[in-house]
Amino acid sequence: MSKFSRRKLITSGIAVTAGASGLAVAARLAQRYGLIPPDAGGFYGPGETLTYAAQRLLTRHSMAREFAPSQISKPPFANEVDPLGEAFKRLQKAGFTDWRLHVDGMVARPASFSLAELRNFPVRSQITHLACEEGWSYIAEWIGAPLSHILDLVGTLPQARYVIYRSIQPDWWESIDMADALHPQTLVAHGMNGGELPVGFGGPLRLRVPRQLGYKNVKYITRLTVTDNLKPFGKGMGSASPEAGYAWYAGI
Amino acid sequence: MCFLALLVSGVEILISHPRFYWGETGNVLTPPLFKLPIPSSRATVPTGYGYVLPDQNGWSRYLHFQAAWLAVLTGLLYFVFGLLSGHFRQNLFPARADLSWRALSTVIGKHLRFRSATAAEPGSYNVLQQLTYLLVIFVLFPLVIWTGLAMSPAIAAVFPAAVTILGGQQSARTIHFFVSVFLLLFLLVHVVMVSIAGFRNRMRAMITGRPAKDMELR
């Protein structure tokens, strides 16, 4: 019993208190600098927060690797999607001439762009790796308008923290933080491997965020919503993925 | 606990695509390096089985990363403590005499004849144990962490060289698989050896850090 002296009790007491208050301070700081993901509640919250915070501190400005044209996968693999809905098929029949991308939320000038308008925006083309959480991957050239250009056009308000993007397919939506939304490699892609973006790969319009896994790259997007708070959308977990059991942040 | 969590969730993630590749890319349209003869949790993967397992990737990925954080943080504590206390130097680095071929073959021979550790070598590690522990601590653990991180698209953006040195992201995935298999083998052999040497005493000693005799004296 002599091993558990009063001194030891006091020092360990102080250590525990210091540890706990240290954690509380860390949590406050993380909240303040936007290092807590929207799906941080629940059993896996600590791990998710550590991953997101660590990667945000490390990767805010890093550029995804770009490859040589010779490294483009031939053929690339188009993952299966749910059967395309009536709304999609109607637009497809008309050659997507009536496809529109709406932008709303915390912006000075809400707008709606046609495909032709989007194609006339400054074009960025990049050869990047797309990896699926399942483990497979391919490399392709992606062509599109930088999302940051579109956000500039509509005048994103300074308090904006996230951009939500929705597919024309029901219940398919994701969101990213401003670090990814304003990143120069994040594209509203309308082309692939030198041509138009095929339907199998998300054509006519797909959000391409190369520093995250495939499931954050939503196909057939029709709406962007800028917000400072993800709570009011869906079940309040940030996007459709956490509602289906997958992490909101997919940088790993 | 962490290892078990990592193993179970790792296997769950693996069965969504039980094919392995070398290089940067790989998918069902490219020839695999090899594939495991097991069913998959995805209909897009041709496995030869007529059924598709339920998708468990969501919680598996959450659990895999949470357990990885816990394992890496405890591992770091152990590592720093091992360096500072001289545990690595005193107990794990083999003595020069033990490394001669004759000494090594004696120990290997003893193991092959299943002579268990007895009174002759009570509290210290023998040279085979030392070499195995060194391999696990300084090669396999760092490698499994490195290859795991190399699969992350965001980490690949910050440290591209960490991916290209390995040969690409699919190579990283393949190495990650093999290192995990080695770690599993280590754990199994470790547990078997411990049970041979007296399960109750050794487990008690491992957790409390004191040999069994000492405990009985109290």
Confidence of residue A4 (pLDDT cuts 50, 70, 90): low
Answer whether residue B155 shows pLDDT above 60: yes
Beta strand ranges found along A86-177 (DSSP E): 100-105, 111-114, 124-131, 137-146, 162-167, 173-177
At A225 the three-state DSSP class reads strand
Of the candidate ranges A29-33, A124-128, B155-159, the one whose mean pLDDT is the lowest: A29-33
pLDDT above 90: residue B33: yes
* Distance, CA of A209 to CA of A216 (rounded, Å): 7
Q: Considering only residues 124 to 143 of chain B, which have any Cβ-Cβ distance to chain A shorter than 8 Å?
A: none
Q: Is the sign of the CA dihedral A44, A46, A51, A56 positive or negative?
A: positive
Within a 13 Å sphere around the CA of B42, how many CA atoms are in the beta-carbon half? 22
A9 confidence band (pLDDT: 50, 70, 90)? confident
Report the pLDDT averaged over residues B128-152: 93
Please check whether residue B51 lies inside any domain of the structure.
no
Search chain A and give the residue with CA nearest B56.
A245
Nearest chain A CA: its distance from B89 CA (Å): 28
Residue type, A102: H
Contact B66 A44 (CB under 8 A): yes
pLDDT score at B116: 54
Residue A85: per-residue pLDDT: 94
- A151-194 pLDDT, tens per residue? 999 999 999 999 999 999 999 999 999 999 999 999 999 999 99
Chain A CB within 8 Å of residue B14 CB: yes
Contacts of B24 in chain A (CB under 8 A): 67, 71, 129, 137, 139
Chain centroid to Cα A46, Å, comes to 20
Q: Does residue B26 belong to any structural domain of this protein?
A: no
How confident is the model at residue B211, as a pLDDT?
A: 59
Among A121-130, B49-58, B107-116, the range of highest mean pLDDT: A121-130
Instruction: Enumerate domains of chain A plus CATH numbers.
Output: 68-243 (3.90.420.10)
Q: Per the structure, how many domains does chain B have?
A: 1
Give CA–CA dist B10/B56, Å, rounded. 11
Q: Which residue has the higher pLDDT, B152 or A60?
A: B152
Query: Chain B: residue nearest A212 by CA?
Result: B153
Three-state DSSP at A154 gives helix
Residue B213 pLDDT exceeds 90: no
| Residue A207: both structure tokens together | 């959000």
Q: How far, rounded to the nearest angstrom, does the alpha carbon of residue A222 sit from its chain's CA centroid?
A: 16
Whether residue A27 has pLDDT greater than 90: no
**For residue B180, what are its two tokens?**
């995990």
Domain assignment of residue B181, yes or no = yes
**Whether the predicted pLDDT of B208 surpasses 80:** no
Residue with the two structure tokens 């809905």: A85
Residues of A in contact with B69 (CB under 8 A): 46-47, 50-51
- What is the mean predicted confidence (pLDDT) over B154-160? 96
What pLDDT score was predicted for residue B114? 65
Say which of A47, A75, A212 has its CB closest to residue B153. A212
A132/B119: higher pLDDT: A132
More confident residue, A28 or B123: A28
- Residue B30 has what pLDDT? 94
CA distance A223 to chain B (A): 25
**Closest-CA distance of chain B to residue A48, Å:** 7
Of B19, B25, B154, the CB nearest to A211: B154
Mean pLDDT of B109-125: 63
Calpha distance B21→A34 (Å, rounded)? 37
Averaged over A65-78, what is the pLDDT?
Answer: 95
Judged by CB atoms closer than 8 Å, whether chains meet at B153 and A67 is answered as no
Phi-psi region of A105 (alpha: psi -120 to 50; beta: other; left: phi over 0): left
C-alpha dihedral over A183, A187, A193, A195, to 10 degrees?
-150
B60-72 burial string, b = 16+ CB within 10 Å, else e? bbbbbbbbbbbbb
Euclidean distance between CA atoms A231 and A237, whole angstroms: 7
Q: CA nearest A101: which of A110, B59, A79, B22?
A: A110
Picking from B192, B24, B12, the residue whose alpha carbon sits closest to that of residue A139 is: B24
Q: Which of A115, A101, A229, A100 is nearest to A175 (CA)?
A: A229
The reported pLDDT for the residue numbered B212 is 53
List CB contacts of A63: < 8 A, sequence separation 6 or more.
A184, A185, B157
Which range has the worst mean pLDDT, A122-131, A198-207, B209-218? B209-218
* Start-end of H helices in chain B: 2-14, 57-85, 87, 101-112, 127-135, 141-150, 153-158, 160-164, 169-196, 199-208, 212-217
Q: What ipTM was assigned to the predicted interfaces of this complex? A: 0.88
Strands A221-227 and A100-105: parallel
Q: How confident is the model at residue B12 (pLDDT cuts 50, 70, 90)?
A: very high
By the 8 A CB rule, do A243 and A235 touch? yes
Rounded to an integer, the average pLDDT of B14-30 is 95
> Does a structural domain hold residue B14?
no
What pLDDT score does A21 carry? 80
CA distances from A201 to A64, A216, B45, B190 (A): 20, 13, 18, 48
pLDDT band at A1; cut points 50, 70, 90: very low
Specify the 3-state DSSP secondary structure of A188: strand
pTM beyond 0.90: no
Residue A14: exposure state from Cβ atoms within 10 A (0-12, 13-18, ≥19): exposed
Q: What is the pLDDT of residues A182-198, one digit of tens each?
A: 999 999 999 999 999 99
| C-alpha distances in Å from residue B162, one per residue of A221, B102, B149 | 34, 40, 9
Check pLDDT > 70 for residue A129: yes
Which residue would you say has higher pLDDT here, B129 or A36?
Answer: A36
- Tell me how far apart the alpha carbons of residues B27 and A79 are, in angstroms, rounded to a whole number: 10
Residue B74 has pLDDT above 80, yes or no: yes
Q: Which domain holds residue B200?
A: 86-218
Q: What are phi and psi of A159, to 5 degrees?
A: -85, 0
